[in-house]
Structure 1
Amino acid sequence: MEPARNPEEFYKKLKSQLQDTAMWPTEYLYKFIVPTEREKILQIQNIFDNMGAVIHTRKSKKGTYTSVSVNVRMKNPDAVIAKYKKVGEEVEGVISL
């Protein structure tokens, strides 16, 4: 995801795509890239805490960055977008894919 240009337009398009491609509630796979710092990874994990999320992490070849994949059941497109926004606001340096 690349919401930097016009976040509201981006999220509007994403919501439309999610509505058209899935039956809700459904499993959704989030992917984030963060600098390899324990605190940043924990922040993402805490945002998805108590949701039954399955979270996998993998360090980059040089260990500078870590990819965080979060597979979780979401109730609707608005809930998906709310989590993207929360991660973007709370985790400095995160890249959402």
Structure 2
Amino acid sequence: MALKDYRKLRKILAESDNWPQLYMFKFIVPNQHGKVDKVVALLPEESDVSFNHTKSMRHVAVTCKAVMKTPDDVIKVTQEATAIEGVFAL
């Protein structure tokens, strides 16, 4: 995701004054070289994480519901996850 996209996401998240709040992350992750484990390691410890594999098993949809303190915390997790080669945020 480009920096400009993070600014837009930050703006949307900041419009809510109700922080901390429940946020749902969703990442599409290549099912190779431990990338799923790397993404999961970035997610908050106190979260509900689920996985859905594609039929070909080449990718995994990682969904995480977690209480996040600020919009910047959401941005940080998203930036770190998408820095992993082949990972996309939805």
Under a length normalisation based on structure 2, what TM-score does the superposition of the two structures give? Answer: 0.89
Deviations 1:45-95 (A, max 9, x none): 111253x01110010122221100011111011110011111122x22101
- Compared CA separation, residues 37 and 22, structure 1 to 2 (3 A): farther
What residue identity is the alignment partner of 1:46? A
CA shift for structure 1 position 21 = 3.8
Equivalent of 1:34 in 22, 29, 37? 29
Structure 2, unpaired ranges of 5+: none
Aligned length: 90
User: Is residue 44–residue 66 contact of structure 2 (8 Å, CA) maintained in 1?
Assistant: no
Under a length normalisation based on structure 1, what TM-score does the superposition of the two structures give? Answer: 0.83
- Residue identity (%): 28
Structure 1, unpaired ranges of 5+: none
Query: Superposition RMSD on alpha carbons, in Å?
Result: 1.5
The runs of 4+ residues in structure 1 deviating greater than 4 Å are: none
- Answer 1 or 2: which has greater helix percent: 1
